[in-house]
């Protein structure tokens, strides 16, 4: 078993005897602003692993397939090894975060239709926003022609909207509004586009439907306190699927 990759919140290991699979282990660390801000809390890895697992399982019922294969212990999952697209896709249902800041629009303003944005994954450049045209004309997806890149981006946009509709319902079920989220995709050995990485309070903005209270990484980014409590509560709600009632 070898460490294949270490990111800010996860480690990826090979799985002996299963070359098409990898083990994704969730760390207790928490970073923001391209890792300029660092933190952690006990059991964070375990909580996010369990949240991501429950979300992937619920997504299957909405016809959305991910890299998830099975759980392994309480802070790891076995996933399909994919060829990752070097993109982060953000979907927004309300204006918040970097969009609110860049355009000077009040956080919380609803959008007329969900917004899909692409960010080019590059730590040295802090994952810059890119247009579909830039991805195509600059050849940012390796080994793909301009027309193949165009097709992949069209599929990705359709996938983003379908995933958004499913996640809105899943989070609504537990009393949370999906304000925005980030996802990553890769292709499996048959060339199919699958959801990868994680869907957790690290990668989503989740506001309580009744109180608007934040239940996501903004508590850490903005020093709001109650970070661990919020993540625990998100897991508790998903496990009981009770709309957030205590």
Nearest distance from C-beta of residue 31 to ligand ASP, angstroms: 3
Residues belonging to the chain? 246
**Which positions from 1 through 30 interact with ligand ASP, judged by CB under 6 A?**
8
Region from 72-80, 141-149, 163-171, 198-206 binding ligand TMP, contact rule CB under 6 A: 198-206
Closest by alpha carbon to 25, among 67, 65, 79, 64?
Answer: 79
Query: Applying CB under 6 A, which of residues 5, 6, 20, 34 lies at the interface with ligand ASP?
Result: 34
The DSSP result for 100-112, as a single string, is HHHHT--TTPEEE
Contact between 87 and ligand TMP per CB under 6 A: no
Residues 6+ apart with CB under 8 A from 176: 206, 207, 208, 209, 215, 234, 237, 244
Query: Applying CB under 6 A, which of residues 56, 181, 207, 215 lies at the interface with ligand TMP?
Result: 181
Of 67 and 182, which CB lies nearer to ligand TMP in the complex structure?
182
Of 72 and 208, which CB lies nearer to ligand TMP in the complex structure?
208
Contact between 200 and ligand TMP per CB under 6 A: no
Phi/psi of residue 129, each to 5°? -60, 135
What is the C-alpha to C-alpha distance for residues 208 and 243, in angstroms, rounded to an integer? Answer: 10
Nearest distance from C-beta of residue 127 to ligand TMP, angstroms: 6
* Interaction pattern, residues 209-238, with ligand ASP; x per rule: CB under 6 A: --------x---x-----------------
Region from 19-27, 65-73, 90-98, 143-151 binding ligand TMP, contact rule CB under 6 A: 90-98
Nearest distance from C-beta of residue 246 to ligand TMP, angstroms: 26
Contact between 168 and ligand ASP per CB under 6 A: no
Pairing of strands 193-196, 37-40: unpaired
Angle at 93 between CA 185 and CA 41, to 5 degrees: 65
Contact between 160 and ligand TMP per CB under 6 A: no
Distances from the Cα of 165 to the Cα of 63, 67, 92, 140, angstroms: 11, 19, 11, 28
Angle at 123 between CA 27 and CA 95, to 5 degrees: 85
Residues that bind ligand TMP (CB under 6 A): 90, 96-99, 127, 180-182, 203-205
The residues binding ligand ASP (CB under 6 A) are 8, 31-35, 217, 221
């Amino acid at each position: 078993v070898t460490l294949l990759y270490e990111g800010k919140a996860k480690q990826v290991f090979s799985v002996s005897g299963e070359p098409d699979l990898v083990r994704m282990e969730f760390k207790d660390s928490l970073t923001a602003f391209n890792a300029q801000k660092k933190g952690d809390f006990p059991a964070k890895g375990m909580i996010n692993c369990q949240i991501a697992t429950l979300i992937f399982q619920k997504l299957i019922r909405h016809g959305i397939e991910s890299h998830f294969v099975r759980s392994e212990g309480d802070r790891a999952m076995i996933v399909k090894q994919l060829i990752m697209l070097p993109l982060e896709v953000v979907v927004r249902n309300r204006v918040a975060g970097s969009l609110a800041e860049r355009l000077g629009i009040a956080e919380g303003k609803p959008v007329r239709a969900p917004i899909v944005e692409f960010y080019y994954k590059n730590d040295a450049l802090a994952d810059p926003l890119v247009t579909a045209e830039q991805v195509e004309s600059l050849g940012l997806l390796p080994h793909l022609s301009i027309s193949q890149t165009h097709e992949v981006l069209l599929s990705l946009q359709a996938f983003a909207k379908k995933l958004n509709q499913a996640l809105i319902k899943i989070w609504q079920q537990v009393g949370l509004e999906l304000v925005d989220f980030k996802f990553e995709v890769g292709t499996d050995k048959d060339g199919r586009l699958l959801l990868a990485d994680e869907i957790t309070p690290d990668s989503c903005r989740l506001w309580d439907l009744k109180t608007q209270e934040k239940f996501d990484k903004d508590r850490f980014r903005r020093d709001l306190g109650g970070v661990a409590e919020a993540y625990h509560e998100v897991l508790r709600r998903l496990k009981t699927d009770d709309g957030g009632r205590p």
